[in-house]
Amino acid sequence: MISNLTSQEFVCSHCGKKVTYQRAIGTHYRNHCPDCLWSQHEDLAVSGDRKSTCHGQMEPIGLTFKKEGKDRYGRERQGELMIIHQCLKCGKISINRLAGDDNEEAILQVLENSKNLTSEQKHLLETQNIKILQEQDKEEILVQLYGK
């Protein structure tokens, strides 16, 4: 019998924390550090394919909501809170789900830091149709993080 649960470990290349995680095959990888939220560029086409040869450090540069489309009144549906990473080496942008044990304060710090994005980064996000969250979205962010 093949177990579909494997325990994996990686050392965060940004803060040095040793991260242990379990994953079920076919579901999401834990691809970022729960403490500093930095990630590493391992995926080429889809999340978890591990085919990239870049291996650059990926900085958490902002937050966004997952696009859920419009409801029947034509309003945008409120999607899940996601984190935007950018590779320091090649500049690739990727959007990732948060995990339950991610540090909430670090997530809010990402929101703070995203105010200082360069116009180049903002342009890159725009061309990929990624809407970066701002101060006015903070209430919804807190609801998603703390459930209040």
Region of 49-57, 59-67, 96-104, 116-124 interacting with Zn ion (CB under 5 A): 49-57
Q: Should residue 107 be labelled a site residue for Zn ion when binding is judged by CB under 5 A? A: no
Residue 31, judged by CB atoms within 10 A of its CB (0-12, 13-18, 19+), counts as: buried
Comparing CB distances to Zn ion, the nearer of 36 and 133 is: 36
Measuring CA to CA, how many Å separate 148 from each of 67, 124, 141, 144? 22, 33, 10, 8
**Which window, 2-10, 27-35, 61-69, 98-106, contacts Zn ion (CB under 5 A)?**
27-35
Cα 83–143–110 angle (5° rounding)? 30
Does 50 sit near Zn ion (CB under 5 A)? no
90 binding Zn ion? (CB under 5 A): yes
Interaction between residue 36 and Zn ion (CB under 5 A)? yes
14 binding Zn ion? (CB under 5 A): yes
Query: Which DSSP symbol is given to 59?
Result: E
Nearest to 84 by CA among 138, 129, 48, 49: 129
Of the candidates 1, 37, 43, 42, the one whose C-alpha atom is nearest the C-alpha of residue 19 is 37
Question: According to CB under 5 A, which one of 54, 106, 117, 130 is a site residue for Zn ion?
Answer: 54
Determine which residue in the list 30, 40, 56, 141 makes contact with Zn ion, applying CB under 5 A: 56
66 binds Zn ion (CB under 5 A): no
Interface residues with Zn ion (CB under 5 A)? 12, 14-15, 17, 33, 35-36, 41, 54, 56, 87, 89-90, 92
